[in-house]
Amino acid sequence: MQRKEQTFGKYRLGKTLGKGYQAKVKICYAPNNKVYAVKIFKRTHSEEKNTKALIQEAGHLTQLKHENLVNLVEILKKEQYIKKNGETYYTMGIVLELCTKGELFDYLLHSGKFTEEQTRYYFKQLISGLQYLHTNNVCHRDLKPENILLDENFNLKIADFGFSARLDGKDGSGFLKSSLGTEGYMAPEINEKKAYIGSAVDLFSAGIILFIMFTGHPPFHKALDSDPYYKLLITDRNSTFWEAHSRNKEKGFFSNDFMNLINSILAYEPQNRITLAELISHPWMKGKCSSNAEIKAAFATRHKQVVEKMDEEKKKKQAEKQNKDNQEISIETNDNENKDKLKQGGNNIIYAAKNKFRSVEDSSQAEIDNLIATYNLKVERFVAPYNEQEDFKQNDIFLNLQPDQILLTLLKHQNEFSQKIALSNDTYKLKCCKTDQNGELVEFNIEIKKNEESNISVITFNKKSGDYYQYLEIVKQIHTFLEA
């Protein structure tokens, strides 16, 4: 008989809030009925690997407590996890404050940019949390709207300390070397694989978030001289940078103080960037700021919009899945071997057994043959190695499937995420593009790599041009059908 309730140690578990490579996050209820969020580490990873990830994320939080951080409640080193189906196993977890109003990212995506007063309110809270971290010798290294949550009063909380580190570095030199973070928010020195100062890269990411909150879009795609927008800042053509961003905006949208602050935060050379102490006393920071009452009123309306749009998306995906299920084509084979697998040609393209990889299995033989012929899939391709320490990005997808299977599935679903697709002749790299709802082109690359240590395939994404939020929506679509 199926259990109606699942538990993790002393906590009763509620709905799932999110899933990642290392763990999933669920609502949990303490014996005193207080509500928290719990990150439960997956048993598919070794205990050593889970322990390392737990220490990485929770280690710094044990010494920290601030109103603008998602604070640690408890570390669960080994607790029994009882699932709904009655299955049980022991694993580790982290209990954290629950932020009921969701990610800052969803408000920007579904309800649009903020007013200058609202932007200032949230940026001050972000800087307050950041200053506390840096004062306590901790840098975050992955600041972005997805890692900023809002509590029940719509106050900002910095979350996800999985990439956090000591500011003084492992060797005490004050420099860090690991290339970590999310591409669109990384400082140029990280993109260029240089040693860097943790406080400087955190502040750089905060500046990008500031720009996005106020405009609804990022200032550039990637902080490198190959990026046309960031190159303007590198080459001291700041006026041209602001002229470009002022198009399609009302006259005087950017104040001189705002432009000066962004220029100071996003400077190419770390030593030329404004410090936290200087930022706090900057003229823009002293402008009119929304009150908490004003934020509560405005963001209650925004929250309703966010929930409605997310519900619409969920229903749309459910309808699409139902439609797909109704149109499934079963593949019948005549011999016992082909009931277990489909093998094309004499090369290394082997497709999955029944129920192991439905996206491929549900294709008709004619469709498979057509894709193989169109994209010359019988050729042997080089699989690039994936180094988790150096290559990991938030949107990566980890699948226990062969690269050929994943490639075929991507090609089968290509019309769902790309209007035009180009496959490399000798690697598992796809160049894709799609026109977003505003008529602008979003260009991005997908590459299938292999983690040689675990023998897991990894699908990586790299945005080349276009709106960042529309790009993330496309990536979410791909996650949906690959992880089905």
C-beta of residue 145 within 8 angstroms of C-beta of residue 108: yes
- Any catalytic annotation for residue 362? no
E strand spans, 42-155:
72-82, 88-96, 138-139, 148-150
Tokens of 308: 């409605």
C-alpha–C-alpha distance, residues 261 and 240, integer Å: 16
Sign of torsion, CA 234 236 240 246? positive
Dihedral of CA atoms 223, 229, 184, 177 in degrees, nearest 10, equals 0
Residues whose CB is less than 8 angstroms from the CB of residue 295 and which lie 6 or more positions away in sequence, other chains included: 118, 121, 154
Helix (H, G, I), strand (E, B) or coil at 386: coil
Question: Residue 461, CB half-sphere, CA atoms under 13 Å: how many?
Answer: 27
- Read out DSSP for 389-447? HHH--TT-EEESS-HHHHHHHHHHTHHHH-SEEEE-SSBSEEEEEEE-TTS-EEEEEEE
Tokens of 385: 């190695």
Q: Which of 142, 160, 202, 227 is catalytic?
A: 142
Count other Cβ atoms within 10 Å, centred on residue 371. Answer: 18
Tell me the catalytic residues: 142
